[in-house]
């Protein structure tokens, strides 16, 4: 495995990175994901702003855990001098909808370039905390419901009973201009190693991307990745209020999966 290039460093994310992590998560998901811009092609800037506002709880919960990691570019060149003064800054104006995806990318002037959000499984997500986000992205809930229906495990076989057992992953994103360099894989494998060293027995992640699924279902030895549940967005069906079969994720074409990585060496 190629090491992390010296230009980059991996750090635990802190409260000072919450807004940046949220921007990376929302920008990459709403504009560059194989799922979200396809199922929600209209009003993408407005939806991105709404999702940004309402993802504060989800991102903060994971930063507060102390388990979320980020890759920082040590050679990052600031676009604006005032950004350098504070070590980076986000310039989104949530009232200005007359901007493009590239404008929003330009306004993300900070050295954080890739994120892997995570929290201890004993600290479950408060559903009320993410309801406003689900209202913006209703299919977000459908993803988890669909995977939950397909998950045949006995909860007692994997769920944590105490802190330090199972890590839950939620949000894997890289700034668009930094994609294609393997940063997501390097960050994922670093998280596996750190978690194993801390005594965690497993990591669970939901994947909405073929690249993420490949990395997490094929971890380096001695770790073992298992696809627990999966469905394809073109064939996933449900019944609407009239009892008719509908395909809520079409025309998106991506495999959605839940993966569990066993960190204990056999």
Q: What is the pLDDT of residues 20-63, one digit of tens each?
A: 999 999 999 999 999 999 999 999 999 999 999 999 999 999 99
Q: Mean pLDDT across the chain, nearest whole number? A: 96
Q: What contacts 122, CB < 8 A, 6 or more positions away?
A: 160, 161, 162, 163, 165, 166
Q: Is 97 a member of any domain?
A: yes
Q: What is the pLDDT of residues 101-113, one digit of tens each?
A: 999 999 999 999 9
Spell out the long-range contacts of 193-196 with Cβ–Cβ below 8 A and sequence spacing 24 or more: 194/69, 195/67, 195/167, 195/263, 196/223, 196/263, 196/264
Q: Is 174 a member of any domain?
A: yes
Q: What is the pLDDT of residues 206-242, one digit of tens each?
A: 999 999 999 999 999 999 999 999 999 999 999 999 9
Distance of CA 75 to the CA centre of its chain: 25
Q: Is 1 a member of any domain?
A: no
Q: What is the pLDDT of residues 170-184, one digit of tens each?
A: 999 999 999 999 999
Q: Is 3 a member of any domain?
A: no
3-state secondary structure (DSSP) of residue 34: coil
pLDDT at 1: 58
In terms of residue numbers, what domain contains 73?
8-262
d(CA 70, CA 150): 31
Q: How many domains does the chain have?
A: 1
Residues 239-250 have a mean pLDDT of: 95
Query: Checking DSSP bridges between strand 166-174 and strand 202-207, what pairing results, if any?
Result: parallel
Q: What is the value of pTM for the model shown?
A: 0.95
Q: Is 157 a member of any domain?
A: yes
CATH number at residue 145: 3.40.630.30
pLDDT at 265: 66
Q: Is 2 a member of any domain?
A: no
């Amino acid at each position: 495995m190629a090491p992390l290039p010296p230009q980059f460093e991996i750090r635990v994310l802190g409260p000072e990175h919450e807004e940046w992590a949220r921007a990376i998560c929302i920008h990459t998901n709403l504009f560059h994901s194989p799922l979200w811009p396809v199922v929600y092609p209209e009003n993408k800037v407005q939806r991105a702003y709404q999702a940004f506002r309402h993802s504060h709880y989800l991102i903060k919960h994971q930063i507060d855990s102390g388990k979320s990691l980020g890759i920082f570019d040590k050679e990052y060149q600031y676009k604006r001098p005032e950004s350098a003064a504070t070590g980076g800054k986000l310039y989104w104006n949530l009232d200005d909808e007359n901007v493009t995806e590239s404008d929003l990318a330009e306004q993300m002037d900070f050295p954080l370039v890739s994120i892997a959000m995570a929290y201890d499984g004993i600290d479950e997500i408060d559903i009320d905390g993410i309801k406003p986000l689900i209202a913006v992205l209703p299919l977000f809930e459908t993803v988890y419901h669909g995977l939950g229906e397909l998950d045949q495990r006995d909860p007692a076989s994997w769920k944590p009973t105490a802190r330090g057992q199972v890590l839950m992953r939620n949000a894997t994103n890289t700034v668009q201009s930094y994609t294609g360099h393997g940063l997501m894989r390097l960050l994922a494998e670093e998280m596996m190693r750190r978690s194993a060293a801390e005594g965690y027995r497993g990591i669970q992640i939901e994947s909405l991307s073929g690249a993420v699924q490949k990395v997490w279902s094929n971890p380096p030895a001695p770790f073992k990745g298992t696809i627990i549940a999966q469905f394809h967005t073109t064939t996933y069906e449900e019944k609407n209020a009239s009892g008719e079969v509908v395909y809520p994720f079409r025309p998106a074409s991506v495999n959605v999966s839940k993966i569990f990585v066993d960190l204990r060496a056999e």
